[in-house]
Structure formats: C-alpha cells, structure tokens
Amino acid sequence: MAQGDRRETDLATARELNAIVHRHYSEDQVYRIDHYLGKETVQNLMVFRFANGMFEPIWNRRYIDHVQITAAETVGVERRASYYEGAGALRDMVQNHLMQLLALVAMEPPIAFTAESVRDRKVDTILAAQPLAHNGKTDVVRAQYAAGWVAGAEVPGYRQDTGVSPQSTTETFVALRMQLDSWRWAGVPFYLRTGKRMPKRTTEIAIQMRRPPLEIFRRVSPSAVAANLLIINVQPDEGISVRFEAKLPGTRMQLAPVMMNFRYGTAFGGAVPEAYETLLLDAMLGDPTLFARHDFVERSWELITPVHEHWRNENASTIPTYEAGEWGPAEADELMARDGRRWRTL
Amino acid sequence: MSESLLPSGVDVQFADIESALAGSSDDTRRAGGTALTATVVVAGPRHRLVEAAQAIAALKDVGVRAVLISYGDNPAPGVRVAGHTVALEGLRPDYLNNAVAALRLSSLPTLVWWRGGGTKDIEGLATLADRLVLDAEDPREVWKWVENLAQRTSVSDLRWARLTRWRALMANFFDIPEVCAAASSFSALRVEGSDRPAMCLFAGWLLSILGSEQRIVPDLREQSSLAPIEAVVLGDGTQQLVLRMAANRTCVQTAATVPNLPSACRTVSLGNQQLAALLGEELRIRARDVAFERAVAASRNVS
C-alpha cells in the first residue's frame, strides 16, 4: 500500500493483510501482538478459571446473570488524531482488546495449556457470537466526547482537539451488547463499553451473579441485596475482587456489601512485568499462546464490519455526545435499561 | 486564607489522588486497620465543610473513603489527601458529578452528604449515589426535589435523622390502645422550636401518618432561644400527648393525658445527636425511606 493511501480497516483489509503475510510466512511464524494479552491479570484469568476447582462449576448461565467488560481512559485523542479519525473506538478497542477479553472470559476449557488448544477455544467462543448488526438493527451505541472536566482540569471536546475535523462523527465511545450461542452462555448478555475522556482510567471484567432465589432477609433488612460480583481488574491495580453481602456488626440484622480483594501489587510484591516485555519474550521463545491467530482476527472483523456499514448507511452528520468526565451517553444507559440492567458506576 | 479542611494532609495533583490514597491504604493494611466499605462524599459551601471534616475524622474507624468538596469557581481546585480522605477546595459546582465519578470506590456504596448548594447540581449526583443525605441550612428549596431525587436513589435528611427519637416516642404513644381509640378526636398539633423546617417536617410526618391533614391544623411556634424542636403537643381540649425537651437538653419527657389511662410519663435520652453519630447511622441504612418522602411532601402544606 502506498504511503498516504488510507483505507479504512475492515474484514476485507484484514483478510488481505493475512493473505499477504501468509504468502511469506506460515501462521506459526506470525506473532500478532495485542498488548492486552500480555497483562498479568489477563493471563491470570486462565489460571483463575482452569487451575481452580471452585469457579468453573458456576461459570455458566445457571449462575451468571451477565458480564460487563469496561475499558475506560481519561485521556482524549492526544496526538493521534490522524490515526483515530479513521479508526474510532470500535476499531481501536473493541475489535482487538475487548474481543480478546471476552474470549478469555467465555471460552470453554482447553484440553491443554498449549497455544493451539487455547487459541482454538477462543476462536470457538467468538464464532458463537451473534451478529452485532442484523436486518438494519444494531445493539451498538456510539458517541463522541464533548467538552467537560476530567482528571482535575477542563478539557475541550473531541471536535476541538488538534487534528480533528470540526464535523467529525468518529466515535470515541462505544457500548454494545453481545450474545453467545452456546450451551454455556445462552441468554447471558455480555455488555462491552470503552471510551475516552471517562472519569477514571480502568479496565475490568465484572461478572455479575444471579441473585439468591429467595430473599429471606427482606423482612429484617428491607434494602435491596446487591448481587454478588466477581471483578477482574485488568488495569490499573491489577487483581481480583469478590463482592458479597455481610451482616453489619450490631444487634440489628442489617446487611452491607463488602469486598474481598486480591491485588498483585500487595500479594506478591515486586514489579509486574510490562505487557510488551512478556509478549516480546514469548515471541523470541516461539510461544504464540498469547498472540492473536488469523482466524480470530478475521472473525472479530466479521463481527464489527457490519456495524460500520450500518453506521455508514445511517449517513448521519451528527453523533450522540457525552460530557467529558462522564460515563458515556444516555443511549448507553438505555441499552442496559432495555434489559432491566444498569452499567456499573465504577 | 482560611485553614485547609485537611490540615494534616499533603497537597497532590488530581491525577495522583489514587496513588496517594493507595499509599494510605497500604499503611493501614500494615497496621491491621479497617477495610474500606463505602465512599462518603460531602459537598457544600466552604463554611459548612469545616464541621463536616471534623465529623468525617471522627468516623476513621468505620472504614470509609471520604471526599470533601467545597464550592468555588475554580476548574482546577486545590487537592489535599490525608489518610483515606480527599479534599477538593473551590471546585466549580458544574463539575461536582465528574469529581465524584472519578473518586468514588467502585462496587461499594456511595453516600452523598449534601450540605447545600444549587439544586441543579444535585440531580446528577443522585445518579452516582446509593444514598443521598440532605443537610442544607435552609432545605425548603431542595425538599421540592425530593420526589424526583427519590426516583434515582434513596434520599434522607439529617434533620429527619435528628427527629428519629422524637418520632419513635410519638409512635410509642400509639401502642397504647386508649391513645389509639382517642386519636380520631385529635384536632390540634402544636410544635415549638427554633428550626422551622424541622418543625414543618415533624408536623408533616405526623399528619401524613395520621391521615389527618385536613382535620388537624398545625400551630408552629418558632422562637430562636429554643432547641430545634422544643415541644410537641398533639390532642384536643381534654386529651394530650406531649413530648418536651428536658431541662438537661439531652432527653425528652413524654406525657399522655387520655381518659381511662393512668398517667404515663417517662424521660428518654435523645441519643447521640453529633454529626458523626448521625452520619454513622445513615451509613447503615440502604433502604428507600418512604416515610421521609411522604413527610417532606406533607410538610409543604404546613406553614
């Protein structure tokens, strides 16, 4: 491709790139880096699920109500406007990072901890995903940040950022609902969201369990009992937390949610290696377990390309906005409200 | 320049708040301290934050992250951290939501203690709070919003919390069958005190639960030298239920004069009415307080 020849990346370009690469290298010689896969917590997700006997039995539609995956940044487009204008949040974050996180949460147990076994199961998972845009409808919400207040300072809106078109409809926020057609996950929605200029920098996977079938404490503690949560903190403050109800000390029966926390920083001490350190070392050692395989990449583009086509067909000159420093637009809340759920206020 | 809300704290950049707080958490953990179970946000004009900061300091064993926000016109307010407490001084109220969204503890309850300000800023706060405790100097304007706010979160008021023992004592009268039998003839309610909103709230509560808003015309007697609520007298010409602040100002004396009922008098402590104690109690409650919402609505008809 000639320099300056800007094509929007989509399924066709992904296939084209894979074909070019495969003309010169076999798949086992190719290491497609997604730095999220090098993060300790992301790797630990497999250990958490498959090296412990107590979690996998409840890791299914019978016990899990829904899953929320959030990747929030406080920064704006910074100096990447020329790239970001042609990409947007769906390409920049969802197609790669969030799809990988989804696959690791939802995959079936691999028969061995080998690269192909793990990557086969991840591809199975994403193959089970229902289309994100179908028959002119989509469960994907997009928005763009307007001026606001983040991290202690006033910030301009996206369209006022350097290098951004004043008429830009590039999305800086995406929220979507995914369904996996599998015995394990049928009927369990996966809600994904990512955005720039959010109140906090955080990436987490929150698994919300179903409520107890009978609320026997309703009479003595009439407050709504919070659902159990399992939270995998990807960044910052990498770790795993469990939220459960506890009795408040005292003579009265009052309940309150409490957290049980595991933090890498305090549990093991020492510095956690940077994701790229891990991945580059793995590449040098010839271990592709933590790298994206061509079929996974193509399938993820296959899911999001119709969404871009849907947006193009809308031919909209406007895009919903959210104030910088807030958790996205009202449309994202409505996406959850339709299912009787709410985004977590992180 | 007035003294900082956190005199023992250190100044930090907003972006460094979490790491400063994490350092405090590590110190606390090493010292075997309490785990954090909630976020308490205190928002209000500067002059109302000083005593709030002292109340928060008294809650140090409860295990809360506290965020003190005083209003001003600064888009980049001064930030100070001490222990698990953050103070933002002089923040533009437009950005209250953004600051709370950034600083609340994820996955745990957030209680917002609202000590006054513009009512337009409170609506967004309600969506971020699990409990909103109003505590304005003059609450009448914000009480007009309670019905709306209650659709988003559970709402209460520290005035309401201070009336808890008064309400319980009045309710206790109605455990007596003779009082219950006489209640339909009660036609007069007199409330004496110095805090008119509290007096209206108590009267509104009583009228709303007795279902007698039409029949009983409350008589509010305000006098600045009295306690916020000094006395409550409910009855008619011959029968009376009386609650009166005792001479020691920490107890309430109760007396019922009802036919066929032997004299029923007692003296009961008002309990700890300090801000920290009231706030500690609010932290233990999560349920929606429908009685408060009805009392506020009824109080609007009490002049």
Distance CA B8, CA B18 (A): 18
Q: Which of A152, A229, A326 sits opposite B101 (nearest CB)?
A: A326
Q: Is B26 in Cβ contact with A344 (below 8 Å)?
A: no
Give the nearest chain B residue to A243 (CA atoms).
Answer: B107
**A→B interface, C-beta within 8 Å:** 148-154, 199-200, 202, 204, 206, 221-224, 229, 231, 236-237, 241, 243, 248, 250, 254-259, 266, 323-327, 344-346
Q: Would you give the DSSP letter of residue A98?
A: I
Residue B50 has pLDDT above 50, yes or no: yes
Q: Is A325 in Cβ contact with B101 (below 8 Å)?
A: yes
Give the nearest chain A residue to B288 (CA atoms).
Answer: A223
Q: What are phi and psi of B112, to 5 degrees?
A: -105, 120
What integer is the mean pLDDT of A74-91? 92
Give residue B132's pLDDT band: very low, low, confident or very high (50, 70, 90).
very high
Cα dihedral value B192, B194, B200, B203, nearest 10: -30
Which of the residues B13, B26, B106 would you substitute to probe the A interface, choosing the one with the greatest number of A C-beta atoms within 10 Å?
A: B106
Q: Tokens standing for A77?
A: 């487009």
pLDDT value of position A6: 62
Summarised one tens digit per residue, pLDDT across range A236-279 is 888 999 999 988 888 888 888 899 999 887 888 777 788 899 99
Give residue A12's pLDDT band: very low, low, confident or very high (50, 70, 90).
very high
Q: Tokens standing for B202?
A: 């108590």
| Residue B69, helix vs strand vs coil | strand
Q: Is B98 in Cβ contact with A325 (below 8 Å)?
A: yes
pLDDT value of position A1: 43
Enumerate the residues of chain A whose CB falls inside 8 A of the CB of residue B18: 236
Residue B1 has pLDDT above 60, yes or no: no
Enumerate the residues of chain A whose CB falls inside 8 A of the CB of residue B39: none
What integer is the mean pLDDT of B87-104? 93
Q: Tokens standing for B126?
A: 């309600």
**Does this complex have an ipTM over 0.90?**
no
What integer is the mean pLDDT of A290-304? 95
Give residue A223's pLDDT band: very low, low, confident or very high (50, 70, 90).
low
Give the nearest chain B residue to A224 (CA atoms).
Answer: B287
Gyration radius from chain B CA atoms: 22
Active site residues of A: 97
Give the nearest chain A residue to B63 (CA atoms).
Answer: A258
Enumerate the residues of chain B whose CB falls inside 8 A of the CB of residue A221: 287
Q: Which of B97, B109, B285 sits opposite A257 (nearest CB)?
A: B109
What integer is the mean pLDDT of B127-155? 92
| Residue B73, helix vs strand vs coil | strand
Enumerate the residues of chain B whose CB falls inside 8 A of the CB of residue A327: 101
User: Looking at this protein, which amino acid is placed at residue B20?
Assistant: A
Please say whether the beta carbons of B118 and B45 come within 8 A: no
Q: Which of A199, A222, A266 sits opposite B98 (nearest CB)?
A: A199
> What is the distance of C-alpha B301 from the center of its chain?
21
Q: What is the full DSSP assignment across A38-79?
A: GSHHHHHHHHHHHS-TTTGGG-STTTEEEEEEEEE-S---TT
Give the helix ranges, DSSP H, for chain A.
11-24, 40-50, 81-89, 99-106, 115-127, 264-267, 275-285, 294-314, 330-337
Summarised one tens digit per residue, pLDDT across range A110-136 is 999 999 999 999 999 999 999 998 888
Residue B239 has pLDDT above 90, yes or no: no
Distance CA B49, CA B68 (A): 7
Nearest to A88 by CA among A188, A173, A2: A173
What count of CB pairs under 8 Å joins A to B?
Answer: 92
Q: What sign does the dihedral A122-A127-A128-A133 (CA atoms) show?
A: positive
Gyration radius from chain A CA atoms: 21
Give residue B33's pLDDT band: very low, low, confident or very high (50, 70, 90).
low
Q: Is A199 in Cβ contact with B79 (below 8 Å)?
A: no
Residues 6+ apart with CB under 8 A from B145: B119, B122, B123
> What is the distance of C-alpha A172 from the center of its chain?
15
Q: Which of A148, A152, A346 sits opposite B106 (nearest CB)?
A: A346
Give the percent of chain A with pLDDT over 90. 73
Residue ranges of domains in chain B: 10-129, 162-269
Up-side HSE of residue A25: CA atoms within 13 Å toward CB? Answer: 10
What integer is the mean pLDDT of B184-213? 91
User: Looking at this protein, which amino acid is placed at residue A6?
Assistant: R
pLDDT value of position B34: 66
Enumerate the residues of chain B whose CB falls inside 8 A of the CB of residue A258: 35, 37, 108
Pick A313 or B28 by higher pLDDT.
A313
pLDDT value of position A23: 95
Question: For the whole model, what pTM was predicted?
Answer: 0.89
Give the nearest chain A residue to B90 (CA atoms).
Answer: A152
What integer is the mean pLDDT of A179-196? 97
Give the helix ranges, DSSP H, for B35-95.
50-58
What integer is the mean pLDDT of A161-184? 95
Residues 6+ apart with CB under 8 A from A63: A209, A210
Residue B129 has pLDDT above 60, yes or no: yes
| Number of neighbouring beta carbons within 10 Å of residue B30 | 9
Residue B203 has pLDDT above 50, yes or no: yes
Distance CA B220, CA B201 (A): 11
Task: For each of the domains in chain A, give its residue range(s) and CATH number, in order of start.
Answer: 11-58+66-206+289-337 (3.30.360.10)
Q: Tokens standing for A127?
A: 């193959």
Distance CA B10, CA B20 (A): 9
As a whole number, the mean pLDDT across chain B is: 88
Give the percent of chain A with pLDDT over 70. 97
Pick B224 or A271 by higher pLDDT.
B224
Nearest to B183 by CA among B237, B242, B236, B124: B236
pLDDT value of position A2: 46
Enumerate the residues of chain B whose CB falls inside 8 A of the CB of residue A324: 98
Q: Which of A151, A258, A324 sits opposite B15 (nearest CB)?
A: A151
Q: What are phi and psi of B164, to 5 degrees?
A: -55, -50
As a whole number, the mean pLDDT across chain A is: 91
**Which residue matches tokens 């050692």?**
A285
pLDDT value of position B213: 64
pLDDT value of position A3: 47
pLDDT value of position B258: 81
The strand pair at A173-178 and A140-146 is best described as antiparallel
What integer is the mean pLDDT of A221-231? 81
